[in-house]
Amino acid sequence: MPTGVHLRDPREQLFSAAERVLLRDGPDALTSRALTVEAGVAKGVLHRHFDDFDAFLAELVLDRIARLDTQAAALRESAGTGTVADNLTGALTELFSSVAVAIVALITFRDGLRARLRQAGLTGVPLAREAAVMIASYLAVERDLGRIAADADVDTLAPTLIGAGHLLFADRKSTPPDAEAVRRMVTTVIAGVAREPHPRTSDSERLSTPG
């Protein structure tokens, strides 16, 4: 694309292109050249909006962390409806079916990116940490509603679920796990604290049962 062509939203165009490269080819393939080729822009566009490539990647991570707020709000709103296991299964599947797994790998492998994120005040493994906060916040609401044990340590359960979920989805080249596989993992992790009643037997079933 010629440098004189006006881009309506160059930052978002670059972010979207980066996600496509990450999802299709993995974190090792995301270079500044691959990014600009995928976005269909001149290389100068990247440098006009970001100090360097690691600065771009840091902004990408921060943007995707901000997007978790919407999912976190929706997950909290689901508390008290359906089942805890199903709500967590849906949330983890949505999280890890996105670009999150590749971004976590990108953070792990790029020292310069981690340094930029530390400068922005982010410690640990950003995105994974915020995802754990999202899950813990939801579990705390369910605990208040009595569907999770009152003494449940949600701050330990949440990263356990995130870590186990990440392992299920980490192999980019294999078929992603189905909902039942994710649900089995979730059910196992929360088995000791789940307080949901078993489905009630219907009147017709009771009447048809001998004795």
> What pLDDT is stored for residue 6 in this prediction?
45
Residue with the two structure tokens 């805890």: 84
3-18 residue pLDDT tens: 444 445 888 999 999 9
- Residue 161 CA to residue 53 CA, distance in Å, equals 32
16-39 residue pLDDT tens: 999 999 989 989 999 999 999 999
> Which DSSP string do the residues of 185-204 spell out, in sequence order?
HHHHHHTTTB-PPPPPPPHH
CB 23 within 8 A of CB 48: no
3-class SS string, 89-131: HHHHHHHHHCCHHHHHHHHHHCHHHHHHHHHCCCCCCCCHHHH
Q: How many CB atoms lie within 10 A of CB 178?
A: 9
> What pLDDT is stored for residue 211 in this prediction?
44
Report phi then psi at 85, rounded to 5. Answer: -60, -45
> What pLDDT is stored for residue 72 in this prediction?
95
> What pLDDT is stored for residue 206 in this prediction?
41
> What pLDDT is stored for residue 201 in this prediction?
39
Report phi then psi at 54, rounded to 5. Answer: -65, -35
| The two structure tokens encoding residue 113 | 């990116």
Tens of pLDDT along the chain (211 residues)? 344 444 458 889 999 999 999 989 989 999 999 999 999 999 899 989 999 999 999 999 999 898 899 999 999 999 999 999 999 999 999 998 878 888 988 888 888 999 999 998 888 888 889 999 999 999 999 999 999 999 999 999 999 999 999 999 887 667 888 999 999 999 999 999 999 754 433 444 444 444 4
- Which pTM value belongs to this model? 0.80
> What pLDDT is stored for residue 8 in this prediction?
56
What domains does the chain contain, in order, with CATH numbers? 8-49 (1.10.10.60), 64-190 (1.10.357)
> What pLDDT is stored for residue 172 in this prediction?
65
